[in-house]
């Protein structure tokens, strides 16, 4: 586990270094929005999605230097979604990663624009010649990222999440679908990105999507568990919000024990999916286990 | 002028038809966000930016059917920016094109998500194989669109616009720069898009950017004039907001007569820029004149 955490940390540092280069602060007044972008994207997140991109790239022998920009673009998309999700009109959160959320640190207008600009920049980063993949590969990455992040993916999931607040009696399949869109879609992109960069066949791409689907759901279940068992200090954000809002979660639907059991089963299935890969997939196997064992 | 307006209308209809195909409504609950996207992007705007894409494409013999998707993607980006600009935390507008703004028709959270999803979809549309350009051209279009729409383009301009509300004594060069980012950047993309699709040389691309810069500024000056001289009925949105907010505009800085003179000079310069093109550029010449003569 320590080895995994060190590797995640090392990747996060590389991502941070590259993001610093990708988001230079202009000298003119609009620098305020760039500062807000940097505040959010370089704010010390674990960079799990970039880690997944780098590890899936490794499976196909893609050089890390080349995969890094794609990893950074994905982190930009993830962080834009956090900025917008935290807004007063959405989840209205004041705290993120132990620091004021973007609209608290700056203001609502700046936060909306910072999110917009991060999303916009992400696609620019992948499309650029400096993203050293052939143009067709770049197009495929952009196409899949757009699909994963858009109204049939992450944004659709966030829409469902907002509607869920006023929906009584949500059933398990609906909660599963909500989470698969809201967090699962970007996880799937992270895993598939390596296969696209490495020009793997569609069967392999499907395999990696299946892994992502399992660990994404396990990740969300453990999120629900941490929301109940965790504290503000180690989580760096508000806890027990779902419980207080009487929102349907995996725990309210399954009970704590059954939810834990389900998370474990998903993890084992994810690990089994990677059977055909050799030791290059060891970090991904460890990651799947970490997702359900983490404390924050 | 009638001929131009008919051509603009005909393009708007084609764009609307294609947008309808590009944004199918799902059967599941997240359809709410897709409906909000469609409400905004198919809400009867003039589609001036798509018109510019189609006309610049014509200069280089690009088939209209192929340019149409790029035109639609640009309209998505433009409409996302309107949705977010209208939000309470930004300009707080209730009326757009004579109808309730997106957050008034739906709610704030849905409007934020609809904007996000339109921006995301725009890049997906261009990256797709169905956008019948070679992958390198698609990447170049995405790269330029990201640059024009991001923190060093449109979003940067919107940031400046928000800061301008609390800035006293703004000078003309600052207002010019603000407008060049806020509206000029997308205009430039619209004109350059045709050159990219038609694989024109960099000199020609520069020429079209120069035209866009001129007409973009003339467009903004005439917007300021309409804000003073127009009425809510013909504009379909609130008027005299800038005046009431004591915001620096071309009129407050130059006076009405000098502002009109400036707009005319920019128009003539824009028309002159197109000198080297034959009658294929006639609509673009007419468009430049229309921008300063329009009544809404």
Indicate yes or no: CB of A30 within 8 angstroms of CB of B89: no
Indicate yes or no: CB of B124 within 8 angstroms of CB of A142: yes
Q: Please list every residue in chain A whose beta carbon sits closer than 8 Å to the beta carbon of residue B33.
A: 151, 155-156, 159
B151/A contact by beta carbon, under 8 A: yes
Q: Nearest to residue A160, comparing CAs of B118, B112, B29? A: B29
Distance CA B281, CA B276 (A): 9
Q: Nearest to residue A170, comparing CAs of A160, A181, A159? A: A160
Buried b (16+ CB within 10 A) or exposed e, B191-206: bbbbbbbbebeeebbe
- The pLDDT of A96-120, averaged and rounded, is 97
> B118, B73 in Cβ contact below 8 A?
no
Helix axes A185-197, A64-86, angle to 10 degrees: 160
The helix/strand/coil state of B118 is helix
User: Residue B234's pLDDT is what?
Assistant: 62
User: Residue A153's pLDDT is what?
Assistant: 98
The model's pTM:
0.95
Q: Which of A36, A117, A148 to mutate to test the interface with B (most CBs of B within 10 A)?
A: A117
The residue behind tokens 């919107």 is B158
User: Residue A244's pLDDT is what?
Assistant: 63
The interface pTM score, or ipTM, of the predicted complex is 0.95
Stretches in chain B below the pLDDT threshold 70: 231-246
User: Residue A294's pLDDT is what?
Assistant: 82
Distance CA A172, CA B45 (A): 42
Give the burial class of B279: count Cβ atoms within 10 A of its Cβ; 0-12 exposed, 13-18 middle, 19 or more buried: exposed
Q: Please list every residue in chain A whose beta carbon sits closer than 8 Å to the beta carbon of residue B87.
A: 112
The pLDDT of residue A248 is above 90: no
Distance CA B271, CA B294 (A): 17
> A209, A275 in Cβ contact below 8 A?
no
The pLDDT of residue A219 is above 90: yes
Q: Please list every residue in chain B whose beta carbon sits closer than 8 Å to the beta carbon of residue A26.
A: 152, 156
C-beta atoms surrounding A269 within 10 Å:
17
User: Residue A99's pLDDT is what?
Assistant: 94
The pLDDT of residue A245 is above 70: no
A132/B contact by beta carbon, under 8 A: no
pLDDT per residue as tens digits for the range B176-195 = 999 999 999 999 999 999 99
pLDDT per residue as tens digits for the range B39-88 = 999 988 899 999 999 999 999 999 999 999 999 999 999 999 999 999 99
Chain A nearest C-alpha distance from B138 (Å): 7
Q: Please list every residue in chain B whose beta carbon sits closer than 8 Å to the beta carbon of residue A166.
A: none
**DSSP E strand stretches across chain B:** 95-96, 99-100
> Which residues are within 8 A (CB) of B222 and not within 5 positions of it... i.e. 6 or more apart?
B263, B291, B292, B294
Q: What are phi and psi of B92, to 5 degrees?
A: 50, 60
How many Cβ pairs within 8 Å bridge chains A and B?
167
User: Residue A262's pLDDT is what?
Assistant: 95
| Number of continuous H segments (helices) and E segments (strands) in chain A | 16, 2
User: Residue B84's pLDDT is what?
Assistant: 98
B162/A contact by beta carbon, under 8 A: yes
Indicate yes or no: CB of B149 within 8 angstroms of CB of A30: no
Distances (CA, A) of B78 to B224, B252, B256: 19, 27, 28
Chain A nearest C-alpha distance from B113 (Å): 6
Over pLDDT 90: what percentage of chain A?
82
What tokens does A262 get? 């389900």
Rg (Cα) of chain A, in Å, rounded?
18
Chain B nearest C-alpha distance from A119 (Å): 8
The pLDDT of residue A246 is above 80: no
| Number of continuous H segments (helices) and E segments (strands) in chain B | 16, 2
**DSSP H or E stretch at residue A96:** strand A95-96
User: Residue A58's pLDDT is what?
Assistant: 97
User: Residue B119's pLDDT is what?
Assistant: 98
A16/B contact by beta carbon, under 8 A: no
User: Residue A106's pLDDT is what?
Assistant: 98
B149/A contact by beta carbon, under 8 A: yes
Distance CA A144, CA A149 (A): 9
What tokens does A159 get? 């829409």
Chain A nearest C-alpha distance from B245 (Å): 18
User: Residue A239's pLDDT is what?
Assistant: 63
A108/B contact by beta carbon, under 8 A: yes
Indicate yes or no: CB of B84 within 8 angstroms of CB of A112: yes
């Amino acid at each position: 586990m320590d080895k995994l955490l060190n590797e995640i940390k090392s990747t996060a540092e590389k991502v941070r270094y590259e993001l610093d280069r990708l988001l230079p602060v202009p000298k003119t007044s609009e620098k305020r929005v760039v500062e807000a972008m940097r505040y959010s994207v370089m704010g010390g997140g674990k960079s799990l999605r970039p880690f997944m991109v780098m590890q899936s790239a490794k499976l196909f022998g893609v050089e890390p230097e080349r995969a890094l920009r794609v990893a950074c673009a994905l982190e930009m998309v993830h962080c834009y979604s956090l900025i917008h999700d935290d807004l007063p009109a959405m989840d209205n959160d004041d705290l993120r990663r132990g620091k004021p959320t973007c609209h608290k640190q700056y203001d609502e207008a700046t936060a909306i624009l910072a999110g917009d600009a991060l999303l916009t920049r992400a696609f620019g980063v992948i499309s650029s010649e400096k993203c050293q993949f052939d143009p067709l590969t770049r197009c495929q990455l952009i196409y899949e990222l757009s699909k994963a992040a858009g109204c049939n993916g992450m944004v659709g999931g966030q829409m469902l999440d907002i509607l869920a607040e006023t929906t009584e009696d949500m059933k398990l399949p609906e909660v599963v679908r909500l989470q698969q869109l809201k967090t699962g879609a970007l996880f799937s992109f992270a895993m598939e990105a390596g296969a696209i960069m490495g020009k793997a066949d569609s069967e392999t791409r499907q395999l990696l999507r299946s892994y992502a689907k399992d660990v994404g759901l396990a990740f969300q279940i453990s999120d629900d568990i941490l929301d109940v068992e965790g504290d503000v200090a180690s989580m760096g954000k508000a806890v027990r919000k779902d419980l207080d809002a009487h929102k349907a979660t995996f725990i309210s639907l399954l009970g704590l024990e059954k939810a834990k059991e389900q998370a474990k089963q998903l993890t084992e299935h994810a690990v089994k999916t990677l059977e055909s890969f050799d030791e290059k997939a060891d970090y991904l196997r460890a990651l799947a286990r970490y997702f359900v064992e983490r404390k924050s």
